[in-house]
Amino acid sequence: MSQPKKHSPKPGQEKPAAGQGKRGGKRKGMCLEDRPILEPNAAGIDIGAREIFVAVTPDRAEDPVQVFSTFTEDLEKMAQWLVSCGVTTVALESTGVYFALSSALIGRVQVPPALG
């Protein structure tokens, strides 16, 4: 069998190099430091089957990202840590049903999940 021939792209149809947009320039966007903080009292929570990653703004804690286990005792520690950081709302990310207990526990300590 013969190999298919590779055709060179027509003028103007070259693929941009990595890190460049369609127009050939570098991608423009805000770096993390330039992004405005819309909810200063918010935390982000990524819930998995065995671990929960929780992040607050760097001014709220010495270690602004914490990892908690999914056992009830650890969830209670997570909720108390959020309260001690002054968190009043959270954004939850979960691809399964693991959020149910975490959400209920967080609501019990008056930290409502953010919807929006």
* Among the listed residues 60, 28, 67, the one whose alpha carbon sits nearest the alpha carbon of residue 45: 67
Q: For residues 64 and 55, is the Cβ–Cβ distance under 8 A?
A: yes
Q: For residues 92 and 103, is the Cβ–Cβ distance under 8 A?
A: yes
User: Range with the lowest mean pLDDT among 13-22, 63-72, 91-100?
Assistant: 13-22
pLDDT of residue 72: 86
Question: What confidence tier does 65 reach under pLDDT thresholds 50, 70, 90?
Answer: very high
What is the average pLDDT across 88-103? 71
Listed in sequence order, the residues at least 6 apart from 99 whose beta carbon sits closer than 8 Å to its beta carbon are 47, 92
